[in-house]
């Protein structure tokens, strides 16, 4: 084979290598669904992006605290496809505080119905944080929070000092993440679209004289209604959901445009989505609620989020790289002994320009550890 033939063969091999590298990179991308090893709870991937957070003044139900503003979510994340159920909470925490359950304060309203797959409620914000940490421990993940100075009222946490330490563990979504995931690229008042009559397709909600609800005054099994564009169930109604952020009615007037984390302090935490007891307008994608961090309510539950963690392959190569060539007559030489490359692709492209193709017997790419990577 002449030099041109060898060069063509090398370019073809480089193309195959590039395609293979892309395929491997794709394989390392986060999966669309993550399942908790300990509970089987499913979370779906919410990809990073931008959206208009809040509502226009023309939207029915709009308040000043919802003024519309552009927001960017720069990090993809996982979010529970459903609200945490009574069964899941009990499996991790060893108790079921729900009012709509056997032994609960609203037991009479559900009668003999088995409520294990109903959303857990009557949990304080601190209880939700504690669950996130306990589930992280169960699944051998680094806890996202620390809780210190815990004071309880019975089994429920009344107050505690919560610090975000980050990591791979479970957490509550921020208010911005929640609305972004709820909308699923929609810009209408509800992710189910308009008119308001369509809300019943995706939500259990309370009613008014003008707009009758469908919840019949109780929570319902999660996942019975239609999911939104992100595959999430019950983002509207059933139970309102705790978010991480402190609540401030005027927060949007000074909100960050990128990954807002909410005010630095307050007395209430944001709740989103509306509940079995709230009218349709309070279930809108932009509607903001608030709850006392220490007072449980049968209208408030939560769903969990989790950061994207991509585990690198065990044989991950380490830059910089160098090119080593075995020549037919003179043995092994370091062709570009004073040159290193940040990527394998760069090393191969440098090699493609070599004038030694007629003398090459073998080519290797060596990483910083001395390991042959190609």
The two structure tokens encoding residue 144: 């996202």
Residue 194 per-residue DSSP state: S
- Cβ atoms 77, 177 nearer than 8 A: yes
pLDDT in tens, 345-354: 666 666 655 5
CA distance 295 to 297: 7
pLDDT digits (tens, 9 = 90+) for 78-95: 999 999 999 999 999 999
Position 136 pLDDT exceeds 90: yes
Please name the CATH architecture into which domain 33-307 falls: Alpha-Beta Complex (3.90)
Lowest mean pLDDT across 81-85, 144-148, 370-374 = 370-374
Cα 277 to Cα 247: distance, rounded to the nearest angstrom: 21
Mean pLDDT of 34-49: 95
pLDDT mean over 320-339: 59
Q: What is the pLDDT of residue 313?
A: 56
Using one digit for the tens of pLDDT, what is the confidence trace for 276-314? 999 999 999 999 999 999 999 999 999 999 998 665 555
> Predicted confidence band at 55 (pLDDT cuts at 50, 70, 90)?
very high
Of 340 and 234, more confident: 234
Query: Within 10 A of 169 (CB to CB), how many other CB atoms are there?
Result: 23
Is the model's pLDDT at 168 over the cut of 70?
A: yes
Q: What pLDDT shows up at residue 26?
A: 34
Tokens of 257: 């445009």
Q: In this model, does residue 1 exceed pLDDT 50?
A: no
**Residue 219's pLDDT band (cuts 50, 70, 90):** very high
Q: What is the pLDDT of residue 19?
A: 33
Q: Is the per-residue pLDDT at 188 higher than 50? A: yes
Mean pLDDT of 99-104: 97
Sequence spans of domains, the chain: 3-28+313-366, 33-307
Average per-residue pLDDT for the chain: 85
pLDDT at 328: 57
Task: Write down the pLDDT at residue 161.
Answer: 97
Q: Give the pLDDT confidence of 223-265 residue by residue, as tens digits.
A: 999 999 999 999 999 999 999 999 999 999 988 899 999 999 9
Quick one: which of 202, 226, 222 has its CA closest to 117? 222
Contacts of 159 (CB under 8 A, 6+ apart): 126, 149, 150, 151, 293, 294
C-alpha Rg value of the chain to the nearest Å: 27
């Amino acid at each position: 084979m002449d030099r041109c033939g060898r060069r063509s063969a090398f370019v073809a091999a480089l193309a195959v290598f590039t395609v293979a590298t892309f395929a491997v990179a794709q394989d390392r991308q986060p999966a669309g669904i993550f399942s908790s090893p300990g509970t089987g709870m499913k979370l779906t991937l919410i990809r990073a992006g931008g959206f208009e957070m809040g509502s226009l003044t023309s939207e029915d139900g709009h308040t000043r605290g919802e003024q519309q503003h552009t927001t960017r979510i720069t990090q993809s994340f996982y979010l529970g496809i459903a609200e945490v159920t009574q069964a899941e909470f009990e499996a991790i925490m060893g108790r079921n505080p729900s009012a709509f359950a056997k032994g609960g304060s609203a037991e009479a309203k559900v009668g003999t119905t088995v409520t294990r797959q109903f959303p857990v409620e009557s949990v304080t914000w601190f209880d939700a944080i504690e669950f996130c940490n306990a589930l992280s421990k169960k699944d051998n993940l680094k806890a996202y929070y620390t809780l210190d100075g815990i004071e309880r009222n019975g089994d429920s946490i009344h107050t505690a000092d919560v610090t975000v330490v980050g990591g791979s563990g479970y957490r509550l979504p921020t208010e911005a993440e929640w609305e972004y995931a709820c909308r699923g690229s929609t810009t209408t008042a509800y992710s189910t679209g308009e008119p308001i009559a369509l809300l019943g397709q995706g939500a259990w909600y309370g009613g008014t004289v003008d707009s009758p609800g469908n919840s019949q005054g109780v929570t319902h099994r999660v996942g019975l209604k239609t999911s939104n564009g992100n595959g999430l169930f019950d983002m509207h109604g059933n139970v309102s959901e705790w978010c991480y952020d402190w609540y401030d009615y005027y927060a949007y007037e000074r909100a960050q445009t990128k990954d807002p984390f909410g005010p630095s302090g307050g007395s209430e935490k944001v709740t989103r989505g509306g509940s079995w007891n709230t009218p349709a307008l309070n279930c809108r994608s932009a509607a903001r609620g608030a709850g006392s961090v220490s007072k449980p309510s049968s209208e408030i539950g939560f769903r969990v989020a989790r950061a994207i963690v991509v585990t690198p392959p065990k044989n991950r190569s380490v830059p910089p790289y160098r090119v080593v060539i075995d020549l037919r007559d003179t043995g092994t030489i370091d062709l570009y002994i004073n040159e290193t490359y940040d990527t394998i692709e760069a090393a191969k492209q440098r090699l493609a320009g070599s004038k030694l193709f007629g003398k090459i017997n073998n080519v290797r790419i060596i990483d910083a550890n001395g390991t042959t990577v190609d």
